[in-house]
Amino acid sequence: MARPPRRAAGQRLALPLLCLLFQGATALLFAVFVRYNRETDAALWHWGNHSNADNEFYFRYPSFQDVHAMVFVGFGFLMVFLQRYGFSSVGFTFLLASFALQWATLVQGFLHTFHGGHIHVGVESLINADFCAGAILISFGAVLGKTGPAQLLLMALWEVVLFSVNEFVLLSLLGVRDAGGSMTIHTFGAYFGLFLSRVLYRSQLEKSRQRQGSVYHSDLFAMIGTIFLWIFWPSFNSAPTALGDGQHRTALNTYYSLTASTLSTFALSALVGGDGRLDMVHIQNAALAGGVVVGTSSEMMLTPFGALAAGFLAGTVSVLGYKFFTPVLESRFKVQDTCGVHNLHGMPGLLGAFLGVLVTGLATHEAYGDGLQSVFPLIAKGQRSAMSQAMYQLFGLFVTLVFASVGGSLGGLLLKLPFLDFPTDSQCFEDQIHWEVPGEQESEVQEPLRGEETDTQA
Amino acid sequence: MARPPRRAAGQRLALPLLCLLFQGATALLFAVFVRYNRETDAALWHWGNHSNADNEFYFRYPSFQDVHAMVFVGFGFLMVFLQRYGFSSVGFTFLLASFALQWATLVQGFLHTFHGGHIHVGVESLINADFCAGAILISFGAVLGKTGPAQLLLMALWEVVLFSVNEFVLLSLLGVRDAGGSMTIHTFGAYFGLFLSRVLYRSQLEKSRQRQGSVYHSDLFAMIGTIFLWIFWPSFNSAPTALGDGQHRTALNTYYSLTASTLSTFALSALVGGDGRLDMVHIQNAALAGGVVVGTSSEMMLTPFGALAAGFLAGTVSVLGYKFFTPVLESRFKVQDTCGVHNLHGMPGLLGAFLGVLVTGLATHEAYGDGLQSVFPLIAKGQRSAMSQAMYQLFGLFVTLVFASVGGSLGGLLLKLPFLDFPTDSQCFEDQIHWEVPGEQESEVQEPLRGEETDTQA
Amino acid sequence: MARPPRRAAGQRLALPLLCLLFQGATALLFAVFVRYNRETDAALWHWGNHSNADNEFYFRYPSFQDVHAMVFVGFGFLMVFLQRYGFSSVGFTFLLASFALQWATLVQGFLHTFHGGHIHVGVESLINADFCAGAILISFGAVLGKTGPAQLLLMALWEVVLFSVNEFVLLSLLGVRDAGGSMTIHTFGAYFGLFLSRVLYRSQLEKSRQRQGSVYHSDLFAMIGTIFLWIFWPSFNSAPTALGDGQHRTALNTYYSLTASTLSTFALSALVGGDGRLDMVHIQNAALAGGVVVGTSSEMMLTPFGALAAGFLAGTVSVLGYKFFTPVLESRFKVQDTCGVHNLHGMPGLLGAFLGVLVTGLATHEAYGDGLQSVFPLIAKGQRSAMSQAMYQLFGLFVTLVFASVGGSLGGLLLKLPFLDFPTDSQCFEDQIHWEVPGEQESEVQEPLRGEETDTQA
């Protein structure tokens, strides 16, 4: 296979220099600001009287590990569906998320756990950083195949800041509830990526169209991503909730929502497909919409039926989006959305936010008992009525959309900086631009393995 | 590649209509009957004085997640070994299990946790539903490639009911012990599937034989399934046991049993293989028999040696079954067992039931101490002797075989209903019947990536 | 594809006979020596007054499961990168590790938990056995493709003994701290394998060179291994540490170290690559060096900055090793290191040991408070100064290198025993020697699926 031509020095060096620069900067900031928290510091933990069993680690680490698997295995492999972009999909996921974890530790830390001049880290900050990385990867899905790794690092630099500020405004300033991130993660990540993709619109993308589809094996690899996202989504939504019933109920609601989005995805995919055939794109993506749609409400008293209904709706909307809206998005709105993040994260995220508004508005002391304190502390304290909390939830969605759209647009301008590794229109969706790629087939073993040698051992 | 001919409307619509119908029905039943239990309900949990650490979630959720991974990743990918049926293997696993989780929640709920007019759900019901889904997927393995998704949904509808009733008869009425389901899951699932496959016998299946084998990459995908099943099997068997030593001992016994079945599988595969070569079918399947065979007894005082011996035996029997019995099963008994579930689940399940009888019969107050209450409550209370408990275990196996054989046969008749999506003899083991399938190879990139464009950035 | 010639009976039988012999021997030893410990025995656990929540199972089992996934999924798939050796990579990993788990239970048990004439097993012994299996698999990486499975079993038999004795000398006799095994696992496993590979040096290996590289899909399979190793490494290092802050801090340090090694790996890979392209070998391996390098020090008060710095350094050294040192290792030192374990485990392991010396030497009562007792019990008791503990750490590294080099060399001689299944120079890196291998491509479906049959259902 012919090699692409040699690149300019700037393009070749953009990635390594950004990696070194960013790593140097975060390391420096870590040295100055980041410290163990009470649960990870040897002296602080042993000061006072705790049982080891009380350490937050035992309540959250198993969920954290599931989230971690979703970010790296789930998102990474989900995007491997492209036939010639597998190395980049899983590799850049790896790179972007690794940087985002460090950078989010800092930015979120300054906003959430900064006291005494230091950021304090433990398993909760790990979970929060992974959540932020998840949002970055959602945006990555929108521009997959059309951006170089240095561009993506720059995107992550900018997006982590906006994500963290938006999250801070919602959760800390507005008192919005959004444990599993229907708004802060999915809506934000999707619309940030879509606006960014709009700014980077390529009118000549058909030059790379022949590589934009999947092949049989790449679809199976992508299913690894899908299934790991699907099975661990209950842990994702429940990882940061209140302990006890909160974490338990969140996982349970998410589980049921996902089963329903899977059934509606299969139903709709067969209904809209040619001759009733199922489409792998739908199964790989829309079946997950049930996790997105209960991101806000799964910690609430959604009821198992509510979870099923929400999941069913989300799967339906998502398949219809892939079938009918994605083409319009490109032709009418000039948004090229490689992975269809609008269908998997955008619309289900919006639905999830509205569902959160609804379920919040219906909250009563009867339904939550003393548990109201954990789920809606401001209502429990009498500072807000359920209805006003619901309005805050709605306002949180509005804020998120503003941050995402303005931030994504500015991000798109940033990625047009000339020294970056922007692939040309005919180089999109192609690993060879960024990677040493081996041949596709194993070398033919023309001759039989030689028998005369079977006894000539070393 | 030539497309299969257009299907009749009934066949095209069978899948989406069943999905919508089943989802609608379960959602309705959820609305009427399913409620949070004490551990997932905000008001109930906060009523009274618990530490959050006491919530069942923290004792069972990590094991649940492993079970969940086994059901969707393990079973799904294990069946990807077929060269042209990977989408269906992993996709229909996804569909069937999603439906089974909802439906099992209802049927098991009516039988186990129904009080005050409601079914109460929490992590234990999630585990039980996943177990039921596991049995459905075992049966799926017997008919893999020879049934359409609508047929499979109908199978699941019927099998979930029988599974749950059989489980209820054994565990609740007969007081049988079967934590990891040697009887209730493996024996039941395997023989249900085999009898069903018998009824659906195809004398002309050789028309599809050329697609019934694996290719190099499909075998590697299948190993993903094998390895995830193998590593998480200790969690499977221990997920529903008594807490403390019970869960701990069960995991440990299963771990050792699996190492032994792996060693005996490699030994036997090389011994019966051509020129001493190993057969991937054996490694992918028989190595797992050690998990099946201790399903009943691993919560008991089996001893680590007992676990090794049981695993060794199971691996041996399983490989010999693949080599010598599967061909006979088809030629003499007209049972076409695509995945060899008789060898992985059927015979090792029977062995596991017998092992359970033996270990139960040997139970003493000396060996179990006060732990007897957890493992054999009826013996501890003096209501049964060890020997009579052993006889109940044996009777439980008999009941299971009756349910499985009668149920599977009736299930086979059900699947012959004319409006279903039954593939013809020459369409078996072929994804194209059910899926939009992309080409196998990535499109050739004939021209070099064009260099003259490297600076024409958007 | 032509079949290799028929093998001699000795070669064909070496594998099954060794499997049966080894399994028989360990089963016998299990029967005589291995018993449940206080946490897994029904009578012992229920004797006295514990809460079930105190059972070690709940503190360590989730971490154990992650370690178990790393050993079987991580190591297994990481080595699938070879184009024609995927079955062997994942299959022999499966076999070797299964045997090693049993055998390590015995050898480690005799050294660590032998009292009253019995070895006592529970989740900690499972973790320790998995750690030992990890070291065996590291050594396997050095000789991957150049050894038969019977040879490898013999290697495991010998290496498990040496590993366990070395571990006992370090941890129990010298009081060295090495929770995540920078020395006992990585340095030992790597140098054992490298010395063994030296003894088995093949001057004619170029006869198999055409199969020594990867293909596109095999690199994606290998990334499954990489990512699972990467995400679960925090659990690996923290699995055996002191509970509470110790386990929590270890996981956190490892997490940050890995993000830094990933960034430095991408930076360096692009810098040393042709035209700035990334090399999959680096990403698959060097990005993991951050887990190795903090194996000793991550339980200590390394600080988050220290973790980043260590990971950055390890990734850098590892990439440079792949690029510049591996060729020299073969040409000058006659060491053929298939997977580059010297770069992933050898050098980062050494660095990790030195880092442990440094961080130990800096330990103060102020920094650790009462937690000093958990991390450095001998310093806390006043039996050693921080400096003398540091010297013991250094001496531990020396001991490890002696065990590994002498043991690996002797192991190489052992593997030259004539009755073994040593592949010839032209048979290396080829599955067909050991496995029944199906064709690479699915059989062509020449004819369209026949339409006239669509209604001839069974």
pLDDT in tens, A390-426: 999 999 999 999 999 999 999 999 999 888 888 999 9
pLDDT at C50: 80
Element (H, E) at B396: helix B386-415
- What is the C-alpha R_g of chain A? 23
Rounded to a whole number, what is the distance in Å from the CA of B211 to chain C's nearest CA? 7
Model pLDDT, residue C235:
97
**Residue in C closest to A94 by C-alpha:** C262
Asked if residue A445 has pLDDT above 60, the reply is no
List CB contacts (< 8 A) between B256 and chain C: 30, 101-102, 105
What CATH architecture is C17-41+52-201+213-433?
A: Orthogonal Bundle (1.10)
Question: For B94, which of A246, A262, A375 is closest by C-beta distance?
Answer: A262
Q: Taking phi first (over 0 means left), then psi (-120 to 50 degrees means alpha), and beta for anything else, what does residue C424 get?
A: beta
Tokens 């937050």, located at residue: A56
Token pair belonging to C178: 């090495």
Lowest mean pLDDT among A8-17, A51-60, B449-458, C365-374: B449-458
CA-based end-to-end distance of chain C: 37
Contacting subunits of A (3+ beta carbon pairs below 8 A): B, C
**What is each CA distance from C398 to B5, C358, C378, in whole angstroms?**
71, 16, 20
Question: Coil, strand, or helix at residue A95?
Answer: helix
Structure tokens that stand for A439 in this block = 């041949």
Out of 3.30.70.20, 3.30.2350.10, 1.10.3430.10, 3.30.70.270, select the CATH number for domain B23-39+57-202+210-417.
1.10.3430.10
From chain B residues 194-253, the ones with a CB under 8 A of any chain C CB are 200-202, 210-211, 213-220, 223-224, 227-228, 230-232, 234-235, 243-249, 251-252
The neighbouring-strand residues paired with A35 are A120
Query: CB pairs below 8 Å between A and B: how many?
Result: 271
A451 pLDDT higher than 50: no
Distance CA B299, CA B385 (A): 18
Q: Can you tell me whether residue A83 is helix, strand or coil?
A: coil
Give 10-residue mean pLDDT values along chain B (458 residues). 61 92 97 96 88 92 97 96 95 97 98 94 97 98 96 97 98 97 98 97 91 92 97 97 96 98 98 91 97 97 98 98 94 95 97 98 95 96 97 98 98 92 92 87 42 37
What pLDDT is attached to residue A457? 37
Q: Residue A171 and residue C422: Cα distance in Å, rounded?
A: 63
Q: What are the tens digits of pLDDT across the range A131-147?
A: 999 999 999 999 999 99
Question: Is the Cβ–Cβ distance between B40 and B122 less than 8 Å?
Answer: yes
- What is the pLDDT, as a whole number, of residue B420? 86
Rounded CA-CA distance C261/C351 in Å is 13
Question: What pLDDT band is residue A69 in, cutting at 50, 70 and 90?
Answer: very high
Which residue, among C280, B442, B450, C272, has the nearest Cα to A2 in the 3D structure? B450
Q: Listing from the earlier edge strand, what are the strands of the sheet with C118-121? A: C34-36, C118-121, C114-115
Ordered by start, the domain boundaries in chain A are: 17-43+58-202+211-421+428-433
Please give the residue of chain A at the shortest CA–CA distance from C374. Answer: A42
Which one of A53, A66, A227 has the shortest CB-CB distance to B76?
A: A227
**Residue carrying structure tokens 């420096």:** A28
Model confidence at A12, in pLDDT bands (50, 70, 90)?
Answer: confident
Mean of the per-residue pLDDT values for chain A?
Answer: 93
Residue C274 is predicted with a pLDDT of 78
Q: Is C327 exposed, middle or buried (0-12, 13-18, 19+ CB in 10 A)?
A: exposed
pLDDT of A275 > 60? The answer is yes
Cα separation, B402 vs B404, in Å, equals 5
C13, C17, C19, best to mutate vs chain B, most B CBs in 10 Å: C19
Tokens of A349: 């995220």
- Rounded to an integer, what distance in angstroms lies between the CA atom of residue C308 and that of residue C223? 23
Among partner residues B7, B202, B430, which is closest to C454 by beta-carbon distance?
Answer: B7
Tell me whether residues A436 and C7 touch, CB distance under 8 A.
Answer: no
Helices (H) and strands (E) in chain B, counts: 20, 3
Which residues, in sequence order, are bridge partners of residue B115? B118
How confident is the model at residue B11, as a pLDDT? 76
Q: Which class for A378: exposed (0-12), middle (13-18), buried (19 or more C-beta within 10 A)?
A: middle
CATH 1.10.150.20 assigned to A17-43+58-202+211-421+428-433: no
Question: How far is C70 from chain A, CA to nearest CA, in Å?
Answer: 12
- The sign of the CA dihedral A371, A376, A379, A383 is positive
C278–A65 C-beta distance less than 8 A: no
C-alpha triplet C401, C402, C405: angle, nearest 5°? 80
Whether pLDDT at A299 is above 70: yes
HEC per residue, B273-291: CHHHCECHHHHHHHHHHHH
User: Which residue in the set A15, A22, A443 is minimally distant from C276, CB to CB?
Assistant: A15
Report yes or no: A328 and A322 within 8 Å, Cβ to Cβ.
no
- What is the rounded distance in angstroms from the CA atom of residue A445 to the CA atom of residue A438? 17
Nearest Cα of chain B lies from the Cα of A254 at a distance, in angstroms, of: 12
Compute the average pLDDT of residues A59-85: 96
Do the chains contact at C223 and A91, CB–CB below 8 Å?
yes
Looking at the complex, report in whole angstroms how far the Cα of residue A436 sits from the nearest Cα belonging to chain B.
15
Q: Using CB atoms, list chains with 3+ pairs below 8 Å to chain C.
A: A, B
Cβ distance of C445 and B227 shorter than 8 Å: no
Dist. CA A84–CA A225, nearest whole Å: 17
- What is the C-alpha separation between B209 and B84, in angstroms, rounded? 12
* pLDDT value at residue B34: 97
CA C326 to CA B339: how far, in whole Å? 43
Q: Nearest CA to A353 among A185, A175, A213, A103?
A: A185
- Tell which A residues from 329 to 348 touch B, by Cβ distance under 8 Å: none
Strands (E), C275-378: none
- Residues from chain B contacting residue C39 (CB–CB below 8 Å): 245, 248
Distance CA B173, CA B157 (A): 23
Residues of chain C neighbouring B276 (CB-CB closer than 8 A) = 7, 11-13, 15-16
Q: How confident is the model at residue A439 (pLDDT cuts 50, 70, 90)?
A: confident
Buried-exposed string C235-263: b where 16+ CB fall within 10 A, e elsewhere: bbbbbbbbbbbbbbbbbbbbbbbbbbbbb
Using DSSP, state whether C302 is helix, strand or coil: coil
| Count of CB atoms situated within 10 Å of the CB of A370 | 14
* Cα–Cα distance, B68 to B123 (Å, whole number): 12
| Surface-to-core class of residue C274, CB atoms within 10 Å of its CB (0-12 exposed, 13-18 middle, 19+ buried) | exposed
Q: In B178-286, which ranges are continuous DSSP H helix?
A: 188-199, 216-238, 245-272, 280-285
In terms of Cβ atoms closer than 10 Å to its own Cβ (0-12, 13-18, 19+), residue C86 is buried
Q: Catalogue the E-assigned strands of A107-238.
A: 114-115, 118-121
Chain B CB within 8 Å of residue C388 CB: no
Question: From CA C226, how far away is CA C73, in angstroms rounded?
Answer: 9
Q: Which residues of chain C have pLDDT under 50?
A: 1-2, 441-458
Question: Is residue A81 less than 8 Å (CB to CB) from chain B?
Answer: no
CA distance B94 to B153: 11
